[in-house]
Amino acid sequence: METLPEFLERLSKVAGCYSHECKSGYISLKKNKIAPHGKMGVFAWVRELKRKDIFEVATYKDLAEKAGVDKLADGEKPKMHWIHTGVFFFVKKDSKADDLNRAVTALTKILKIK
């Protein structure tokens, strides 16, 4: 069964982004590996839902709308980071199917506009 670090390595490579562990237990996805303070380019977050054997990839709804990928999401998160609405994608562990492709498509399109 795929672990969170293995999934992040695979997702980062395919989507063309970098991951960074947060104190909250989430892993942030960012555009730049190294950037000036306050300009890391964080655009999404990943967490593992162990009971369901899935990973949740979340991003801001406004970014998903600008990229035209908001309709691909599995759902919305009101007040994702206190005030912003977010969207999320569920990816099954070890998946190489549609659920992974939707998340990767969304991330790569968001990266292009960010």
Listed by start position, the domains of the chain span 4-113
C-alpha to C-alpha distance for 35 and 71, rounded to whole angstroms: 31
Each residue of 32-80: pLDDT tens digit?
876 656 566 789 999 999 889 999 999 999 999 999 999 999 999 888 7
pLDDT of residue 59: 94
The residues pairing with 94 across neighbouring beta strands, listed in sequence order, are none
- Cα–Cα distance for residue pair 73/64, rounded to 1 Å: 9
Q: pTM of the entire structure?
A: 0.88
Q: Choose which CATH entry (3.30.420, 3.80.10, 2.60.40, 3.30.1460) describes domain 4-113.
A: 3.30.1460
